[in-house]
Amino acid sequence: MSTTLIRGGTVVSSTGSSLQDVLVDGERIVALLAPGTSVLGDVAAGAAQVIDATGKYVIPGGIDAHTHMELPFGGTFASDTFETGSRAAAWGGTTTIVDFAVQTYGQSVQDQLAVWHEKAAGNCAVDYAFHQIIGDVNDESLKAMDELIGEGVTSFKLFMAYPGVFLSSDGQIVRAMQTAAGNGGLIMMHAENGSAIDVLVQQALARGETDPYYHGVTRPWQTEQEATHRAVMLADITGAPLYVVHVSAKQALARIAEARNAGMNVFGETCPQYLYLSLEEQLGAPGFEGAKWVCSTPLRSRAEGHQDELWKYIRTGDVTTVSTDHCPFCMKDQKELGIGDFSKIPNGIGSVEHRMDLLFQGVKDGKISLEKWVDVCCTTPARMFGLYGPKGVIAPGADADIVVYDPNGHTSISVDTHHMNMDYSAWEGYEIDGHVDVVLSRGTVIKDESGYVGTKGHGRFVKRALSQNLL
């Protein structure tokens, strides 16, 4: 096995940072060495590869715990395949993605998980794992939840939105939560009151309010707060741990914080779009341009202060992780399906390549600490989703998933330079005061200063344990 020495850098963890050199042997980290250690000269002389990280941060590879590669939605499919999406992740310093296998009405959970394995196998640039969407809660799918635990799929997503497609009744949610409480699985919840939203959507369209802006108006924060509260109460009844995905409304996060303060196993996820983008500026762009930013939950009003509150909840720990909900669609022939009817615009934003950079800009802007950056992007996602130990940490015995990040570098985001399979960028013109220089996945350099140097199929499926982040 070949050895790699990363020397001169500052190793950053979720709890602190210090100057250390990192020794990699094959696929694993074998030692952390203080600068000037007497054996370092011999180690460097014997290393097959030495990476100079002087003046740079050395962090665990990012874990994006919420992606949707090749997702079918609204008569089309997410534009990133596992090949293109995982390669873009590598460019941005993410070395593990957790994607969603989809089961809906009339389908077998096990058969659908097999479909997702087939999509991903041999195609990924980085390691990958799966959550399971349970869109049809019945006796067979509840039995499958127990079976999937043994297959390393230990989290199950339910929907309170999308009637007729994914929405589960409260009774179905209770049954799935009872199953998770028994088998140790984690319930993930899309928390929006879909029935109320459907009424508001039809009323808006009847008034001729068809522009993308009304996607946000018809999904008001009250529908997110109400559903979040209901999910918390059902979790309290059943004793199931609850992870609320893509939270965008400050009121919904306040409810999550209240539950956490009461000692409940309730966790909140947010995404970069909710930290930076807004209803007024993006969804309200002239003409059909706002379609670029149609996603659910929707972007929220900056005037109401949602963005600042979400940054606050990251600092307090009530936002447990920051993922992307990466679900990209091109404008041409995809987002354009909703011209004249915002309800037909495929929901999703592409960000898997930019998450680490966008959150690092929060460090530069004084919104979060360096350690919190690593915590919400790398370490806590690993603990939350049963990956910690091999993933999410730089320590002897861990997988050598490592990012060398230059805090004095610069990254310009544009459709002209990104690597996601999209014909526009939701982040066009964003300038980042930092740069991903080198990315290692299990000891192999897959991105360096020359660009992507990885290979299709390098990424492996990772069986996940139960959550290591419960109270």
Question: How high is the pLDDT of residue 443?
Answer: 98
| Res 24: pLDDT | 97
Per residue in 404-447, pLDDT tens?
999 999 999 999 999 999 999 999 999 999 999 999 999 999 99
Into which CATH architecture does domain 61-384 fall?
Alpha-Beta Barrel (3.20)
Q: Can you give the pLDDT at residue 439? A: 98
DSSP lists the bridge partners of residue 270 as: 322
Q: Say what the pLDDT of residue 1 is.
A: 56
What residue spans define the domains of the chain? 3-59+393-452, 61-384
Distance CA(231)–CA(261), nearest Å, equals: 16
Q: What is the dihedral of CA 147, 182, 245, 235, to 10 degrees?
A: 150
pLDDT score, position 394 = 98
Alpha-helix runs per DSSP H in 246-405: 250-261, 272-276, 306-316, 355-364, 370-374, 380-384
| Reported pTM | 0.97
356 close to 94: Cβ distance less than 8 angstroms: yes
Using pLDDT thresholds of 50, 70 and 90, give the confidence band for residue 159. Answer: very high
Backbone phi, psi, residue 145, to 5°? -60, -45
Other Cβ atoms within 10 Å of 397 Cβ, number: 10
| Closest to 62 (Cα-Cα) out of 322, 396, 364, 349 | 322
Q: How confident is the model at residue 274 (pLDDT cuts 50, 70, 90)?
A: very high
Confidence of residue 43 (pLDDT cuts 50, 70, 90): confident
How do strand 444-448 and strand 451-452 relate by DSSP bridges? antiparallel
Supply 91's token pair. Answer: 């460019």
User: Across residues 54-82, what is the average pLDDT?
Assistant: 96
170-193 pLDDT, tens digit per residue, is: 999 999 999 999 999 999 999 999
Mean pLDDT of 270-288: 97
CA distance 418 to 92: 10
DSSP string for 34-75: -TT-TTHHHHHHH-SEEEE-TTSEEEEPEEEEEE-TT-EETT
| Tens-digit pLDDT profile for residues 288-335 | 999 999 999 999 999 999 999 999 999 999 999 999 999 999 999 999
Radius of gyration of the chain (CA): 21
CATH (residue range 3-59+393-452) = 2.30.40.10
**Residue 357, pLDDT score:** 98
Cα separation of 191 and 170, whole Å?
Answer: 12
Is the bond preceding residue 297 a cis peptide, omega within 30 degrees? Answer: yes
